[in-house]
A and B are shown apart, each in its own frame.
Chain A
Amino acid sequence: MAQAAGNAENQPPNLPEWSRSLGPGVIEETYGTRSRHETALRRYVPWLTPDRVSSVSFTPLADMHGIITPSGLHFERHHGGVPDVDPVDYRLMIHGMVERPLIFTLEDLKRLPSVSRIYFIECPANGGMEWRGAQMSGVQFTHGMLSCSEWTGVPLKVLLAQTGLRTGASWLLAEASDAAHLARSIPLAKVLDDAIIAFGQNGEAVRPQQGYPARLVLPGYEGNMWIKWLRRIEIGDRPWFTRWETRTYTDLMPDGLARQFTFLNEVNSVITAPCPEKPLRGRPGFVEISGLAWSGAGRITRVDVSVDGGDHWRTAALQDPVLPKALTRFRIPWEWAEGQTAYLQSRAMDETGRVQPTISALRRARGVESIYHKNSIHTWLVDRDGTVVNVQIDA
C-alpha cells in the first residue's frame, strides 16, 4: 500500500492544528462555500466552440456523490452568454392560440400551485465528440453535459389553464430572453403531461447559468429545449422550424436525410469510479465500482456491469430513490489486482425495456455524423498499472 500523504504533525498520535484553536463563528460566510481543499471544477474544451459566450462547460462527474448535482457545478450551455435578469422586471408572456393572452410576473408564478421534482438534464450532444472514436481525456468530457437537480415551479398546464387554449392548438414555442433568444417548438401533449416553469433549483432560486429567474423544465427531453430565462410562450398549430430545430439539434443520417424533433434522451449510463480522473494506480484490492444511469423514458430498472469488455455481466445495486427521468446511482463491488488489465462497462435498462446499445450498434443504425443522442455503452480500460483510459473496443 502507498503511504498516506499529508503532514504527519496533523495525524495520530498528534493533535491536528484545527483541534487546537477556535475557528470562525457563524455568519462569517452568510452564503456558504465549500471547503477550500475541494477542487472539483466546471471545465470547457476550447476547440469545441468559437468562444466562451456561445459555449458549453462540463460537470465534473467523477467528483459527484449521489444523484444531485451541486448547482455550482451544473454544466452550462448557452448561446449568447448569461443574462443578468432583474426579477422585478421579469415578465412571462403567453399568447397565440389562447383565449386570454396574459403576462405573469415572478410573484404571479410563485403564487400559483407548484411542485418539486428531481430530474436530470442532458445536452443531446453529450458524448457527441466520440461517434468516430474515443478522443476525450475523462468522464467530465465524455458525459459531463449532464446534471440532476430538484426543480420547483408551476406546472405549465396551470398557466395554460389561466390563458385557456383555442381549438386546434397542437404545439407551442418557448423563447428565451437572452441575447440568442433561443426558441424551440414543443408538442402540447408533452407540456400538458409534465412540463414545469421552474424558479427553484436544489432549494434556492434557479442559478443565472440555469435560467434565473425562471426556466422551462421538460423531463427526459434534450437540454436545449428546457428554455432558460423564459420570456415568451406562443401557442400554435404546428412547429416553427427554428434554427435550433433545423440547423442544429437534428440528427443527420448516412442517407443525407436528417431526423427532426428527436426530443427524448434515451437510456444511458457511465461508470464514474474508477474513471480516467480517478485511477487505481497503487491501490490494488477492493474497489467499489460506481456510476450513474438515466433515461428520458422513465425509471432505470437495471444496470449491468462488465469488467471484461462485455463478455460477462453482473447486475449492480441501484441506490434508492430510483426516480423517473432522474439520475440513478449504481454500485457493485470488485477486486482489482495490480497488473490486471480490465475493460469496465455499464449497461442500463429502463422501464420501457430499452437497453443501452453498443457503439457498433449505434453506428450501424445512424452512421457517425448525427452528433446528437449518442447513448452507447462506454468503456474504460484499466491498464496494468491502474491508469484508467477512455477507449472504444470492437463489439
Chain B
Amino acid sequence: MSRLMLKAAGCAAAIMLVAGLVEAQQAPNPAAAIADLYQPFKAPPGDRTRADVGWPAATVRLPAPIPAIGRAATSAEIAGWDIAVRGDGHNLPPGSGTAKAGEELYVNHCAACHGDFGEGLERWPALMGGRGSLRSDQPKRTIGSFWQHAPSVFDYIRRAMPYAAPQSLSNDEYYAITAYVLFLNELIGEDDKMDAASLSTLAMPNRDGFVLEARPDTEDNACMINCRQGRAVNVAMDSRRFVEPGSASGTDKPE
C-alpha cells in the first residue's frame, strides 16, 4: 500500500469516526427520529425539489436471495412495459410532434372532456389557465399554472389517455398532443417541435414551486381541564346549511 493510499484510508477512518460520533449523538434524539419518519430519504441541496440530479443513495441491507424463484426479464419484455418518463425527461421515447399536428388529435380524443381550449367541461379537469392563481383563495392547478415538468405531461398523457383507450396512440401522436396542450398554455408556438430534447429543456412556469415536507407543523396540545378558558362554544359552520344529517351527502345509485 502506498503512503498516499494509507493517508487516504486514515482520512476515511477519521471521517467515519466523526460520523459515528454524530450518529451516537443523534440516536436518542426524538426530533431526528421523527424527521426520518416523515422524510425517510436525503434530498439534494437547495430549498426546491429537483429532478435533474441524483438523490443520495439509501442504506441497503437485504436478506439472502432464495434460489430459482423469479425468472430473468428480457430486454424486449422490459421495453414493452417501461413507460415511465422522469421529470428531467429520462426515458422519453424517439419521435416528435407539433401543436399544429396535435390539434385534430386533441379535438378527437381529448376535447369531449377537457373542452376545445383545455378549459375543462363539467367536472373534468381544466388543462390551461390559472397562471398566478396559486397564492389566491381560488388556486387553479393546471399544466400551465402548476405542473412542474413538461416531460411529465407526456408521461401522463401516454400512460393514461385517451381516457377510454390508454397507450393506444403512437409516440409521435403523443408528442403532438403534448405540444398542443403546451400551446394552449402559451408555453410554445404552434410549429415548435416537441421531442425528447425540447420537452426536457422547456421551462415550466411552476418549475420551482415545490418544496419538501414541512410537518410536523402543529403543536402537541393535550390540555385536559378548562381548556377553553371561559370562551363559549361558537358554531362557525353547521352542515345543515348544505345537507340533512345522516347519509344525504352520498348515494349508492349510479347517477
A interface residues, Cβ below 8 angstroms from B: 41-47, 49-50, 52, 58, 79-80, 93-95, 100-104, 108, 111-113, 132-138, 140-141, 157-165, 167-171, 173, 175, 179-181, 183, 187-190, 192-193, 231-232, 234, 236-243, 246-247, 250, 252, 254-264, 266, 276-277, 279, 297, 302, 304, 308-313, 343, 347, 349, 352-355, 357, 361-362, 365-366, 368-369, 373, 381, 387-394
B55 A171 Cβ-Cβ under 8 A: yes
B141 A247 Cβ-Cβ under 8 A: yes
B56-74 CB contact bits vs A (8 Å, 1 = yes)? 1111111111100111110
Q: Does B147 contact A (CB under 8 A)?
A: yes
Interface residues of B in 143-176 (CB under 8 A from A): 146-149, 152, 155-156, 159-160, 163-164, 166-167
A297 B37 Cβ-Cβ under 8 A: yes
Question: In the complex, which residues of chain B have a beta carbon less than 8 angstroms from the beta carbon of A132?
Answer: 237
Nearest B-chain residue to A158, judged by Cβ = B63
Q: Does B29 contact A (CB under 8 A)?
A: no
A310→B64 CA distance, assembly (Å): 53
B134 A161 Cβ-Cβ under 8 A: no
A247 B146 Cβ-Cβ under 8 A: yes
Q: Does B1 contact A (CB under 8 A)?
A: no
Nearest A-chain residue to B67, judged by Cβ = A162
A241 B87 Cβ-Cβ under 8 A: yes
A190→B211 CA distance, assembly (Å): 20
Interface residues of B in 41-91 (CB under 8 A from A): 41-42, 49, 51, 53-66, 69-73, 77-78, 81-87
Nearest A-chain residue to B123, judged by Cβ = A50
Choose from B167, B215, B248 the contact partner of A262 (Cβ within 8 Å): B215
B239 A357 Cβ-Cβ under 8 A: no
B247 A134 Cβ-Cβ under 8 A: no
Size of the B side of the interface (Cβ < 8 Å), in residues, is: 105
A23→B210 CA distance, assembly (Å): 63
Supplied contacts A247-B146, A388-B245, 17 more A-B pairs, CB within 8 Å: A46-B255, A95-B78, A101-B72, A137-B244, A137-B248, A158-B66, A181-B159, A187-B58, A240-B155, A242-B84, A246-B87, A266-B216, A311-B228, A352-B37, A365-B218, A373-B215, A391-B235
Which stretch of B96-104, B189-197, B219-227 is in the interface? B219-227
Question: In the complex, which residues of chain B have a beta carbon less than 8 angstroms from the beta carbon of A313?
Answer: 222-225, 227
A353 B220 Cβ-Cβ under 8 A: yes
B interface residues, Cβ below 8 angstroms from A: 30, 33-34, 37-42, 49, 51, 53-66, 69-73, 77-78, 81-87, 113, 122-125, 134-135, 137, 139, 141, 146-149, 152, 155-156, 159-160, 163-164, 166-167, 209-228, 231, 233-252, 254-255
Nearest B-chain residue to A181, judged by Cβ = B159
Choose from A140, A171, A261 the contact partner of B247 (Cβ within 8 Å): A140
A234→B84 CA distance, assembly (Å): 9
Choose from B84, B213, B243 the contact partner of A137 (Cβ within 8 Å): B243
Question: In the complex, which residues of chain A have a beta carbon less than 8 angstroms from the beta carbon of B160?
Answer: 79-80, 179-181, 243
A99→B164 CA distance, assembly (Å): 37
Nearest A-chain residue to B49, judged by Cβ = A260
A252 B139 Cβ-Cβ under 8 A: yes
B243 to chain A, nearest CB (A): 4
B239 A391 Cβ-Cβ under 8 A: yes
B122 A240 Cβ-Cβ under 8 A: no
B184 to chain A, nearest CB (A): 16
Question: In the complex, which residues of chain A have a beta carbon less than 8 angstroms from the beta carbon of B49?
Answer: 239, 241, 260-261
